[in-house]
Amino acid sequence: MEVMSTTLSIAVQKPKSGVGIKICPSAERISCLLLTDDCLLFGKADSTSCWEVKNVLDEFCDISGQLINYQKSILTFSTNATMTH
């Protein structure tokens, strides 16, 4: 999981990556929360951010040899997210 955390930390530093959230304007971005068997990833609800997170997950799988179980994964959006066409 350290590989994923490090890769996400690098992605957070990229301008306009959309990875991570801020809990207040003066705080640094939080890209993920690592729990015992789970990982919560944070990002903007747009295609650029989704691709960035997907690339991080792909890199994590390549490096670690682990796979993401998408049947046990959940994607949740904030009530503030808007749908565009």
- pLDDT mean values, one per 10 residues, the chain (85 residues): 78 83 89 85 87 88 89 88 75
Structure tokens at 85: 């066409």
Structure tokens at 79: 């009530």
Is residue 80 in some structural domain?
no
> Alpha-carbon distance 35 to 18, whole Å?
22
- Residue 85 pLDDT: 63
Tell me the residue range of the domain where 30 lies. Answer: 2-72
Question: How many structural domains are present in the chain?
Answer: 1
**One-letter amino acid for residue 79 of the chain:** T
pTM score of the predicted model: 0.74
Is residue 78 in some structural domain?
no
Work out the angle at residue 27's Cα, subtended by the Cα atoms of residues 23 and 82, and round it to the nearest 5 degrees: 40
